[in-house]
Structure 1
Amino acid sequence: MDGHSNVSLSHGDTTLGSLEYKVVSAFLVLLVCTVGIVGNVMVVLVVLTSRDMHTPTNCYLVSLALADLIVLLAAGLPNVSGSLVGHWIDGHAGCVGIPDFQHLGIHVSSYFILAFTAERYIVICHPMRAQTMCTVARAKRVIAGIWGVTSLYCLLWFFLVDLNVRDNRRLECGYKVSRGLYLPIYLLDFTIFFITPLLGTIMLYGFIGKILFQSPLSQEAWQKERQSHGQTEGAPSNCSRSKSATSSRNQATRMLAVVVLLFAVLWTPYRTLAPLNSFLAQPFLDPWVLLFCRTCVYTNSAVNPVIYSLMSQKFRAAFLKLCWCRALPRRLPKELRRCSGAPARSQV
């Protein structure tokens, strides 16, 4: 039985690194996970508590934040304990359950990125269709489908891993059978949950880029199409609203494009090394290289809220409002304690 994994997101095997490696690994991963957990929880809170944030795109971003939280909690935090202790400490239930949740968070995130890219494509390239196709109700159905189908697929990992005892009598969470037999699974994961959604996303952003940047008449045509469906023409207020809507739409598109770019860059090391190790007679398991691959994954799950706050005025304002309202003492005057239009609680 070959207990070594191709490359796990959490330490399933005995860590042979030095004290320096253990300290660096634990500190780096804990820092990234802390930032990511706080940031993704804030994304979920601001969207759920702000009525004006209830849009189809933000529905996908909330689901992406939940997927990132699963990755950080099921992979990042066990990695910290594995780095410090040097062996598996989460028991049999953790061994069979944690890999399932890891792959669930990994796989659904790629298709949520594809989903919000498709939504952006419809909004930009087919604005009239977007009124009926890009709705919150439809987004919720798509999200439920992605979670459901991917959850069923990931149940496979309940039967693929188990606790093993190393020669030094330490426990590790590893494969049940020979490592080479997992090659079809890793190749299937690589194709279905990385290459396919990534290529689809790149293709859709190619169409979006053609409309936004290569066609100088696209914005004028978009305005004429709106006017032909009952919009008034020439009113300053309508012109101002149109410019504001166009600017907001383009800002959101640029922000999501950065999310996709970082997803492709940060996931490539792990997604490449996992199937590659299935081909090698001796898998490449250098601790520092594995730490780099894992940290890239955790960083991808942690960086999205930072992107939202830097590139979206709406998210930045919502984050600031959330932090400000949570920090206000309960005994401040009522007019200073109103958040998102909610009435202030009575003084105690």
Structure 2
Amino acid sequence: MENSTNQTLGVWTDSSVAYKVISTALLLLICLAGVVGNVMVVLVVLTTKHMRTPTNCYLVSLAAADLIVLTAAGLPTAAEGALGSWVLGHWGCLCITYLQYLGINASSCSIAAFTVERYIAICHPIRAQFLCTLSRAKKIILLVWTLTSAYCVMWFYLANLQVLVYDNAKVTACGYRVSRKLYLPVYFFDFGVFFVVPLLLSAVLYGLIGRILFLNPLPSDPKEQQQLQRHNNHDMGKRSYRSSSSTAASRRQVTKMLAVVVILFAVLWMPYRTLVVVNSFLDRPYLNSWFLLFCRVCVYLNSAINPLIYNAMSQKFRAAFLKICRCGRKASDKPVGSYGAALSYSAVKDSSVAECTDRFPTDVEEVTITDGLLVEHKGIFGGSSSSPSYEKADFKMAA
């Protein structure tokens, strides 16, 4: 069903060839790179056993949401920019609009979820043994996607195909069924719930996390305290302390990585969100083509850049990405080499918390195997029963 405007909109001027070439090439490059990167994130977590942690489950949810944004918003926007008109029809308009909002809202909810999970794991490690489990993370992710899917159903009603009548042409566009005045309350509610609230929550919780990680000693889990006390007057105590320090460094690195994801989410979405808010108060919206392209590029970069952050800041993700890239080779799960060589070794030191993130392994700590550490781990494991374990990008731009 198509709606036509009742009055002409002046003379229609098509975008320049330079704009079409640059915008199409740029959007396609970002979207294709983002799709490859996010697919690899999903594959890495699903196919690598030690990567299946609560935090990484939330990152898979975020990757899935980013894939939806890139394919349902980025690619259609590139096609519409190149062709100058909407070509996917009425149902294409409805479904694409629904998927765009679903991806955007699910990504912000996923960010909020892993922020809360990090806060509990670091600031309340005792509770984290019961709250930060893999099964609970899966249930939360299912709840997030169920609620956002139901919430976004309204866009099947709000979106509609439009025929814009100009003096010299008729242009088909995917727009809104309702007037701008009726659309704005929906937008501002969406803006508040899925952008402002997650960012405020993240700011508060990362402030509390930073105070614990960088200003105060990390809370210890009771079993670790008992182990340290048991070996306090023995050389083993010193080695256990070194291992604990390694865990603290690992926690800091994981938290830094996730904080970077949140900061980039805020920064890269800010130009577009600000533009829509400002335009909502203007009689003649600011719709400069190049600035719109800049806003769209920022939005799609936000969905494409996360795999690069994981690769740059997480040794485990980097190693897993490399393993995926080596198509024909199967890397052994256990390190191979002489005892004297420095090898990368992943270990969960307590089976009772192996299901939880971090100490509880969020990013299972990396230690270097030396003769001394082999003896240390033998001593630690030998005496216990543990086992190693936003908007639719309104990418037409709301007037």
Q: Tell me if structure 2 keeps the 8 A contact 1:262–1:300.
A: yes
- Kindly tell me: are residues 230 and 214 of structure 1, through their superposed partners in 2, closer, same or farther at Cα, counting changes over 3 Å? closer
Amino acid at match of 2:206: Y
Contact 2:4/2:163 (<8 A) preserved: no
Q: In 1, distance between residues paired with 2:297 and 2:180?
A: 23
2:211: which partner in 1?
Answer: 210
Distance 2:13 2:155 in 1: 23
Report the alpha carbon displacement of residue 159 of structure 1 after superposing the two structures with TM.
0.5
Structure 1 residue 175 displacement after superposition: 1.5
Letter of the aligned partner of 1:210 in structure 2? R
Does the CA-based 8 Å contact 2:125-2:220 persist in structure 1?
no
- State the partner residue of 1:199: 200
Partner of 2:258: 256
Q: Which residue in 2 is equivalent to 1:286? A: 288
CA distance in 2, matches of 1:111, 1:44: 18
Conserved? CA contact 1:74–1:101, under 8 Å = yes
In structure 1, how many angstroms separate the alpha carbons of the residues matched to 2:88 and 2:21? 20
Tell me how large the CA RMSD over aligned residues is: 2.0
Between the two proteins, the alignment pairs up a number of residues equal to 318
Deviations 1:83-137 (A, max 9, x none): 1101101111111110110011101111111111111111111112111110011
CA distance in 2, matches of 1:249, 1:301: 24
Runs of 4+ aligned residues of structure 1 deviating over 6 Å after TM superposition are none
**Relative to structure 1, is the Cα distance of residues 340 and 143 closer, same or farther in structure 2, using a 3 angstrom cutoff?**
farther
Which AA in structure 1 matches 2:33?
V
1:242 alignment partner in structure 2:
244
Alignment of 1:46 onto 2:44:
yes
- Which one of the candidate residues 321, 324, 331 is aligned to 1:322? 324
Classify 1:228/1:26 alpha carbon distance in 2 versus 1 (closer, same or farther; 3 Å): same
Hey, what's the Cα distance between the residues in 1 that align with 2:143 and 2:272?
26
Distance 1:229 1:273 in 2: 56
CA contact (8 A) 1:180 1:279 kept: no
Look up the equivalent residue of 2:324 and give its one-letter code.
Answer: L
Contact 1:92 1:163 in 2 (8 A): yes
Letter in 1 for 2:120: I
Change (3 A) 1:158 1:250: same
For residues 100-249 of structure 1, the aligned pairs below 5 Å read 100-167=98-165, 168-215=169-216, 218-219=217-218, 222-223=219-220, 225-228=222-225, 232-234=230-232, 235=236, 237-249=239-251
Q: What's 2:330 paired with?
A: 338
TM-score (norm 1): 0.86
Q: Which residue of 2 aligns with 1:25?
A: 23
Distance 1:181 1:340 in 2: 59
State how far apart, in whole Å, the 1-side matches of 2:282 and 2:249 are: 50
- Distance in 2 of aligned mates of 1:180 and 1:270: 19
Aligned ranges 1:287-306 → 2 under 5 Å: 287-306=289-308
8 Å Cα contact 2:69/2:303 also seen in 1: yes
Q: In the TM superposition, what is the alpha-carbon distance from 1:224 to its structure 2 partner? A: 7.4
The alpha-carbon deviation at position 204 of structure 1 amounts to: 0.1
C-alpha distance in 2, partners of 1:100/1:77? 15
- What corresponds to 1:95 in structure 2? 93
Corresponding residue for residue 64 of structure 2: 66
Deviation at residue 238 of structure 1 after TM alignment: 3.1
CA distance in 2, matches of 1:251, 1:63: 21
Q: Is the 8 A contact 2:55 2:117 kept in 1?
A: yes
Check 1:121–1:145 CA distance in 2 against 1; reply closer, same or farther (3 A cut).
Answer: same
Counterparts of 1:140 and 1:254, CA distance in 2: 23
Change (3 A) 1:82 1:131: same
Name 1:307's counterpart in structure 2. Answer: 309
Judging changes above 3 Å, is the alpha-carbon distance between structure 1 residues 131 and 183 closer, same or farther for their aligned structure 2 residues?
A: same
Report the structure number with the largest CA radius of gyration.
2
Deviations 1:144-179 (A, max 9, x none): 111111111101110011111122223111111321
Higher helix share: 1
- 2:126–2:221 Cα contact (<8 Å) kept: no
CA distance in 2, matches of 1:126, 1:274: 39
Corresponding position of 2:390: none
Gaps of at least 5 residues in structure 1 are 4-13, 329-336, 343-348
Q: Secondary structure at the match of 1:16?
A: coil
